[in-house]
Amino acid sequence: MSVFSNDALIGEHILITGATGGIGYEAAKEAVRTGAHITITGRNEEKLEALKEECKRLNSEVEVLVGPADINMEDDRKQLVRNAKESIGPITGLVNSAGIGGGAPLEDLTEEQLRKPMELNYFSTVLLTQEVYKDMKQQRRGAIVNLSSLSGLRGTHSNIAYSSSKFAVIGFTQSLAIEAIEYNVRVNAICPGFVDTSMGRQAIANIGKREGRSYEKQRQLSEEALPSGRISTPEEVARSIVYLLTDACENIVGESLKISGGGVMR
């Protein structure tokens, strides 16, 4: 079910990273439902092509550009943005949903485990945004949504690497929001808790393993701990992303929207 009209993003061009993951995938579908042209990127071209076909079935009138890229690489970032603009036109919305999880207690944390989440979740997000933002600034219009996490708002056990990278995304979001709103560019973040994606399920499984519980038991306990009684769906997160891309939230600036099922209320 969508709460948006089918023209809420008509005429907009949204670049979505991490489009082969659960949240990015659903965000792409929700964006085309509301009339947006989209550029979708990730490293799995086969999955991107499948998503393109699905998006075209949802709305045959929009343009969908597949742009395989490793956004950790400068050349890939520049080529992605250049191709998107040449194929569809100016980018007016950016969804930074590419990311990875992973974690360990401090004494077991390797340098690689520490660097990988920071490089993709934070550095690549900032550097790709830099490529897109300069045109938004010149155009004096745009919206940017960064995927952070509840782990970007409070620390949890064995989660130093991931949590630190997501805290960094919040700092980036708030700092850029202050700069960008001068040019009518809105910047906000989404902070989901557990989401029913492969990444979310793996996170639950990791907690279960640490506590000596099966995935099924740990998921049951995780859901029972939430006031809503369940974890979020990727579709719910996608609808929140699209909301922040629309003009319905013109004065929402630098916010971190929690999607926690009531688990975090501060």
Q: Which residues are catalytic?
A: 162
Residue 170: DSSP 8-state = H
Residue with tokens 């306990």: 221
- Closest among 75, 179, 80, 173 to 122, alpha carbons compared: 173
Residue 120 is encoded by which pair of tokens? 């993709």
Contacts of 130 (CB under 8 A, 6+ apart): none
Q: How many CA atoms lie within 13 A of 240 on its CB side?
A: 22
d(CA 1, CA 212): 38
93 near 36, Cβ under 8 Å? yes
d(CA 26, CA 117): 22
35 near 6, Cβ under 8 Å? yes
* SS3 call for 46: helix
